[in-house]
Amino acid sequence: MRAETRHQLKQDAFSRVTIDAAEKTAHWTVEHRSTLLISAVAVIIVLAAVIGGWFYLSAQDEKASFDLSKAVRTMDTPLRAAGTPEQPDFPTFTSAKDRAQAAQKQFQSIVAQYPHTRTADMAHYFLGVTAATLSDNAAAERNFKEVISAGNREVSAVAKSALASLYGQTNRVKEAAALYQELISKPTASVSKVAAQLQLAELYQSSNQPLEAKRIYEQIKKENPGAEAGQLATQKLSEIK
């Protein structure tokens, strides 16, 4: 009974965190999209690693989660100005490229050492993120697609959202819109319906399709009266002429 209670508490904690992460996604902008995605999903996967499953895979996931947290911290490591000496107790990088490459190696190691774990799926997703940071869009697309097809519903949804964002940034608007529509039709804890709606509306707005953007913002406003998402939609509507 105690084991079952602990398991239920872990599941409840996971649900609370994933729902909170989904709500935070509503604040996305093009400028901060990657940062919010990293911080939200990192929390999700660390908690997800302790939920259920076979003992061996759970143990592997715990080890992998520890390595994942280190890799995510690498991605958050501050940059220092060129010519500034490195401080031994305060890790820094001289460029975003060097930082992304260092994190990428760590994520690759997790995928290789801990295959078939949920954390490996998440590390695989971050390989896509780092590839996009390094402007290797082909590798980013490939990694996101592999995560989407892996079968982990929550991580797959996040990868699908990231792939849609990549498509939007590379002028593949129709493909991006199709992915957002899939997420709207089948929302998850990690990517809620309203989060996908906001991203789709933003896509239309940035691709000079104001009528489509307006239609979605009005729907968000109608479906979320009084909520923060509804307020954001109202603000966005005021920007469309």
- From first to last of the 241 residues of the chain, give the pLDDT tens digit: 444 444 443 344 434 433 343 344 434 334 444 444 444 444 444 445 444 444 455 677 778 888 888 998 998 889 988 778 888 778 898 889 999 999 999 999 999 998 888 888 889 999 999 999 999 999 999 999 999 998 688 889 999 999 999 999 999 999 999 999 999 999 998 899 999 999 999 999 999 999 999 999 999 999 998 889 889 889 999 988 7
Q: Residue 163 has what pLDDT?
A: 94
* Segments in 27-152 forming alpha helices (H): 33-48, 55-75, 96-113, 118-133, 137-148
pLDDT at residue 51, rounded to an integer? 46
Of 211, 215, 127, 116, residue with least CA distance to 163: 127
Residues 111, 115, 119, 122: is their CA dihedral positive or negative?
Answer: positive
Tally of domains within the chain: 1
* pLDDT score, position 14: 38
Is 88 a member of any domain? Answer: no
Distance between first and last Cα of the chain: 60
Q: How far apart are CA 47 and CA 15, in angstroms?
A: 10
Question: Please, which residues have CB within 8 angstroms of residue 223's CB and are 6 or more apart in sequence?
Answer: 194, 230
Amino acid letter, 192: S
Is 77 domain-assigned? Answer: yes
d(CA 180, CA 163): 10
212 located within any domain: yes
DSSP codes of every residue in 143-206: HHHHHHTT--HHHHHHHHHHHHHHHHHTT-HHHHHHHHHHHHHS--SSS-HHHHHHHHHHHHHH
**CB-CB neighbours of 199 under 10 Å:** 27
163 domain-assigned: yes
pLDDT score for 117 = 80
What is the predicted pLDDT for the residue at 195? Answer: 92
Enclosing domain of residue 33: 2-81+93-239
Q: Which pLDDT does position 58 carry in this prediction?
A: 66
For residue 225, what is the domain's CATH number?
Answer: 1.25.40.10
Residues forming a β-bridge with 90: 87
Tracing tokens 């107790």 back to the chain, one arrives at 89
Q: Tell me whether residue 87 is in a domain.
A: no
Q: Are 134 and 101 in contact (CB under 8 A)?
A: yes
